[in-house]
Chain A
Amino acid sequence: EVQLVESGGDLVQPGGSLRLSCVASGFTFGSYSVNWVRQAPGKGLEWLSYISHTAEVAYYADSVKGRFTISRDNAKNSLYLQMNSLRAEDTAVYYCTRDEGFCGSSGCYRWADYWGQGTLVTVSS
Chain B
Amino acid sequence: DIQMTQSPSSLSASVGDRVTITCRASQGISNYLAWFQQKPGKAPKSLIYAASNLQNGVPSKFSGSGYGTDFTLTISSLQPEDFATYYCQQYNSYPLTFGQGTKVEIK
Contacts and interface: CB of A to CB of B under 8 A. Distances in A.
B67 interface: no
A50 B95 CA distance: 9
A115 B101 contact: no
Contacts of A115: 43-46
Contacts of B43: 95, 115-118
Interface in A53-81: 59-62
A27 interface: no
Contacts of A109: 32, 91-92
B39 to A, nearest CB: 12
B49 interface: yes
B100 interface: yes
Interface residues of B, number: 24
A112 B34 contact: yes
A116 B46 CA distance: 12
Nearest to B1: A62
Given A111-B46, A112-B46, A116-B43, A45 B36 contact: yes
A112 B88 CA distance: 12
A47 B49 contact: no
A115 B38 CA distance: 11
Q: B50, B94, B96, B100 — which one has the most chain A CB atoms within 10 A of its CB?
A: B96
A110 B90 CA distance: 10
A112 B50 CA distance: 11
Interface in A1-49: 35, 44-47
A45 B101 CA distance: 8
Nearest to B35: A111
A114 B46 CA distance: 7
Interface of B: 32, 34, 36, 38, 42-46, 49-50, 55, 87, 89, 91-92, 94-101
17 contacts: A44-B87, A44-B98, A44-B99, A45-B44, A45-B101, A47-B98, A50-B96, A59-B95, A62-B95, A100-B49, A101-B91, A109-B32, A111-B46, A112-B36, A112-B89, A115-B43, A117-B42
